[in-house]
Structure 1
């Protein structure tokens, strides 16, 4: 089986399966998975996957495979370096963090933790969503076969991550079912907020205390992918600005903030005070959607993580908290 990494574009959400859903391998091995750094041949069904970066552990757990090792969620995580959605799935599988059957955890504050990954003795390393460099990939490949991202760092949609990891673990059909159920749920949840559909949006990072002021996320990033998946439309000003650009964001001068025309503007902020400062800022406050009050300022880092590092586990958790805020903003557009 050969899996070519491709971009699906849209990102969805859903409330579907958790850990332990399908513990059987249905694919025939060997399996070859193509990615940015070439292709990885997996001779037999992995039994000891380790993960790096975000998303990958979520996907493995959702497919019914508990990693032997996974990174701590140092940003946006809880006291045990995990997340509510991951904790719930691991608990359901009888493999809670800190328990005998739970995954080992390692910090990635300083980058890929090669030493701790090696200690878990993995038979495959999952990094379909990551920012691996060629050097990182080569080092990890000395530990175990590696599944890297298909095209660009931190630009893999959760659908592609699920497809690639599903193939690597011999659970391609389970992955297809998980994607379909997840997308069905996101569609169903979004339909409860008809005011969202068709609205133009910009997802950015607004920081009034910094001289640069604005970063705008591009269509390759999972945050815009999520909003597009629920029927919103990326603002033409961003579509035009991202032509010929690589990466997942572009800086935008605060002096030109009034040119960021969209019906809704979404940003993550450290606290409620920052939202107030943005609205009152003489430059950022001129963003059309901010002036109208069609502004979502997410102050919950865990919620921000759930959307920016989208997975079949995180998005269902995010919907109940995020969609009402987004619907309220869209009603003011």
Structure 2
């Protein structure tokens, strides 16, 4: 199942298979504390705390979003992860390439695909000052191995669940650029607020975000980063999303086709990698029983890049994909 389908494909192979699943809209994370000393910042996370050297230059990023946040804050990483779901032939996402090209910088080293373990040798070869895995799925054992290479910042609580704004603020803390991080977020918030003002029809409507992949139906929970920022557009979480939850995932759960008629929402947003998948969602006897689908209120976000841009959003991808998402939601909300 796709990560951004499930996270919607969860890292490389899970990212390709799970990618229709993962930004929340909470403010700066309490887990990041800027101990502005000569030694840099000390950041608390799921595996303890990490002290980052002041003004790190050689930055390696893992997982999702840390690359984009670092670039948005003016620090081009020396090595970034390969994206097999929505990246180009070199594994580079379009908004990342655009930002690096605009900066006139050289493309970072693209780390080799490594679904089960971080590519330790390639990371060490990049000689990092810090490794940023703020939104990732690294285990405690992997964190310890990475920390032997360089100070490593993991996620604050659960894997693949860091609110997208917290990714930006935590990376800002790590890089000694907290003020710049606030400016980046203020700019994005202004864009979201403008879209909300342009679409008053969103206000108060209930939303359920879903994906139907390879015979399994996924529902994304309200704490999933891909869902949270849509509340800023005016939508509210459909009560059925909570009522039907079975607790089988941190940011999503699976739902049997026999229960889809209970998924009540004013708008259902479906993530589909291809147009045939999107067409099947609205025409299939199994999924067409969803009340919003039957009523013509299914929003279809189609294509790996469009899905990845908001699943979950990042400092670079949200501005890149916001217009397309809003247009898709507006067509379904009428």
The answer to whether TM tops 0.5 is yes
Moved more, 216-225 or 244-253: 244-253
Matched, 1:294 2:297: yes
Give the C-alpha shift of residue 89 in structure 1.
1.0
Moved more, 130-139 or 192-201: 192-201
Give the C-alpha shift of residue 279 in structure 1.
2.1
Matched, 1:54 2:78: no
Matched, 1:137 2:147: no
Q: How far apart, in 2, do the equivalents of 1:92 and 1:286 lie? A: 47
* Match for residue 279 of structure 2 among 260, 268, 276: 276
Q: How far apart, in 2, do the equivalents of 1:206 and 1:226 lie? A: 22
Q: How far apart, in 2, do the equivalents of 1:320 and 1:164 lie? A: 26
Q: How far apart, in 2, do the equivalents of 1:29 and 1:249 lie? A: 41
Paired residues of 1:157 and 1:310 also in contact (CA < 8 A): no
TM-score normalized by the length of structure 2:
0.86
Paired residues of 1:53 and 1:108 also in contact (CA < 8 A): no
Paired residues of 2:247 and 2:253 also in contact (CA < 8 A): no
Matched, 1:325 2:328: yes
Q: What RMSD in Å do the two structures reach over aligned CA positions?
A: 2.0
Q: Which residue of 1 aligns with 2:9?
A: none
Q: How far apart, in 1, do the equivalents of 2:329 and 2:283 lie? A: 21
Residues 36 and 230 (structure 1), Cα distance of their counterparts in 2 relative to 1, 3 Å cut: same
Q: How far apart, in 2, do the equivalents of 1:78 and 1:11 lie? A: 31
TM-score normalized by the length of structure 1:
0.86
User: Which string of whole-angstrom CA distances, capped at 9 and with x for unpartnered residues, describes residues 59-88 of structure 1?
Assistant: 000000010100122111123321221111
User: Which string of whole-angstrom CA distances, capped at 9 and with x for unpartnered residues, describes residues 196-249 of structure 1?
Assistant: 221101001124x51xx3110112211111221211111001123448665111
Residues 192 and 118 (structure 1), Cα distance of their counterparts in 2 relative to 1, 3 Å cut: same
Residues 109 and 199 (structure 1), Cα distance of their counterparts in 2 relative to 1, 3 Å cut: farther
Matched, 1:110 2:130: no
Give the paired residue count: 303
Residues 102 and 280 (structure 1), Cα distance of their counterparts in 2 relative to 1, 3 Å cut: closer
Q: Which runs of 5+ in 2 are unaligned?
A: 1-22, 28-35
Q: Which runs of 5+ in 1 are unaligned?
A: 1-7, 13-26, 96-100
Paired residues of 2:26 and 2:166 also in contact (CA < 8 A): no
* Match for residue 29 of structure 1 among 38, 41, 44: 38
SS in 2 for 1:179: helix
Matched, 1:177 2:183: yes
Paired residues of 1:201 and 1:264 also in contact (CA < 8 A): yes
SS in 2 for 1:308: coil
